[in-house]
Homo-oligomer: A and B are copies of this chain.
Amino acid sequence: MKKITPKAMCAWIPKREDETHKGDYGRVLIVAGNKQFGGAAIMAAEACVKSGAGLTTVASDSVNRPALQTRIPECMFIDYENITSLTEQISQFDTILIGPGLGLDTNAEELFRLVLQNATEKQQIIIDGDGITIYAKGKIPHPPASLTFTPHAGEWERLKALAPGAETATEIAMTLDATLVLKGHRTKVYAGESAWQNIYGTPAMATGGMGDTLAGTICGLMAQTEKPIIGTLAAVFLHSYIGEILAKKRYVVLPTEIAEELPTYLKIFSETDEHA
């Protein structure tokens, strides 16, 4: 199992070229946040924008619009009850995150199904939080898009049920035809035959919303890197690396504080060139 190291990060984060524009840095849709868990949408969106994604749109319950627009006006907003508008726009995005704070009721399931049904082959879909629990019910087929799952321990147990014969995480990832990000004290990533382990992380990060911030960082970086797995690994690294640094002076590190530092640490790693 490969370690995710700072040295690898230096190779993964590209310098931005002159003459590029926002369209070159990804169009991300985040489908997240019901009336109870609106903060999940906000935290994911902040991480996505601050990771440098070119254009970020959040589809959420309309009660979450004021808080989202206040905290991160750089984001666009779709009321997810406006199914027609949402459906029409899905094909415009290259990267979609679905699940944080979505809830588990019938509406959430229908919304989840809608997004997956309208996804296309060229899209990357990250399924997080409640989205994993819904997908794990096994009623929705694998879309033509590429999938990445980001389960915590409980969601991982549910997801395993979809791959009854598989024994190792690698086998499960291959059965699910997806990348797996198994979150924990030392997060592990499985893609195809490959596996990586994170070497950072601190219990000061054990607080609600931390996974939403990670998911937002993954979709933001995935939209900017040539290979999706590179964006995923970089996000896992940065999220915990920044968490450890902040934890030197804080008993608890809030998810939004990690998002705040993304532009700074991305800059540092983009300038330390280890490509050669």
A208 x B21 contact (CB < 8 A): no
8 Å CB contact of A74 from B55, B56, B209: B209
- Any B CB within 8 A of the CB of A18: yes
**With A263-B252, A264-B250, A270-B251 in contact, do A42 and B206 touch (Cβ < 8 Å)?**
no
Distance of A42 Cα from B65 Cα, bound (Å) = 13
Using A54-B208, A73-B209, A73-B256 as known contacts, list a sample of 13 further A-B pairs with CB atoms less than 8 Å apart, ordered by residue number in A.
A13-B251, A19-B203, A22-B210, A35-B65, A35-B79, A50-B254, A51-B252, A54-B207, A56-B208, A66-B66, A67-B67, A74-B255, A250-B263
Residues from chain B with Cβ under 8 Å of A13 in the complex: 251
**Nearest B residue to A41, CB-CB:** B73
8 Å CB contact of A38 from B65, B67, B208: B65
A82 CB to closest chain B CB (Å) equals 9
**With A22-B210, A54-B206, A208-B56 in contact, do A71 and B73 touch (Cβ < 8 Å)?**
yes
Chain A contacts with B in 150-196, Cβ cutoff 8 A: 152-153, 184-185
Distance of A218 Cα from B267 Cα, bound (Å) = 29
Chain A contacts with B in 34-89, Cβ cutoff 8 A: 35-40, 42-43, 49-57, 62-67, 69-79, 85
**Nearest B residue to A254, CB-CB:** B74
- Any B CB within 8 A of the CB of A227: no
**12 A-B pairs (CB sep. < 8 Å):** A22-B208, A36-B77, A43-B73, A49-B254, A52-B251, A52-B252, A53-B207, A64-B69, A67-B69, A67-B73, A74-B256, A251-B262
